[in-house]
Amino acid sequence: MTKAARVLVIGSANMDFTVAVSRLPAEGETITGGRFYVSHGGKGANQAVAARRLGAEVCFVGCVGQDPQGDQVAEQLRAEGIPTDGLIPVEDAATGVALIVVDTEGRNQIAVASGANLSLQPGRAREHDSLVAWAQVLLCQLEIPLPTVEWALTAGRERGILTILNPAPAQQLPDALFPLVDCLTPNAVEAETLTGVAVNGPEPAAQAAQRLLARGVRRVIVTLGTQGVLFCDGTSALHFPAFPVDAVDTTGAGDAFNGALAVGLAAGGRWEEALPLANAAAALACTRRGAQTSFPLRAEVEAFMRRLKH
């Protein structure tokens, strides 16, 4: 990566309210004795911060409410060095909120009130069209309206920049969306949702990837947690193992991966270098609580990778 790396993220911004408990509750069960903390989240803002901490120039387009939470989102982005020109305050919705429960092994349950994120319609996003021309990599997720995702990917394709779609949260997608995607990054659940293949390891991940490639995606990266990631481009399938860590909270790990992947590929980076970088960033994020609070700096990721090579 060079200093010229430029990443545009179009997506969601939330405030996260998390309770850390001994174990995840069953249906109808109350777990007491937890620890509460507030942090910044939303897949879009998360991936923007993750990319910025790895040294890229980052712009973000998203919607927040005209409320204290929206002010906090803007303040956090500015603190990270991300311009807020693309952060759109809306009058008729509150800033998005995520309610998260996480256990001692890092597993989580998440419920989201989307709020202002659903106000990011194509017309609003199109006002920041100049940022698409500025970017080297465009990164989207699915916590904003699908028509906006389709507009963004189309705009990126028209300008010849690399488009990455993280298809999260898991949902079905229209056929027209797939040919607009240079790189699709589902996890196992999302890959199964999109293809019907039960993904529990590299081999079924490859089967799911082939189905997605057949729908028009240029490349597929299936993230498999502790089993690493599988990269497929129609001619080869490459497995990249995960970096072993003691996980305390997996919240945001996928966002750390996608943000790092975008950074690694910006300015012409190679897949063989970008994927280990993304794996390392995701692994380090699992060792810390929260989403954005867990994302590592570039120097931390590089030092981590050097230690594991020796």
List, by residue number, the catalytic residues.
Answer: 255
- From residue 83, alpha-carbon distances to 5, 23, 123, 235, 236 in Å are 15, 39, 20, 39, 38
Of 293, 219, 309, which is closest to residue 256 (Cα–Cα)?
293
The C-alpha atoms of residue 205 and residue 198 are separated, in whole angstroms, by 8
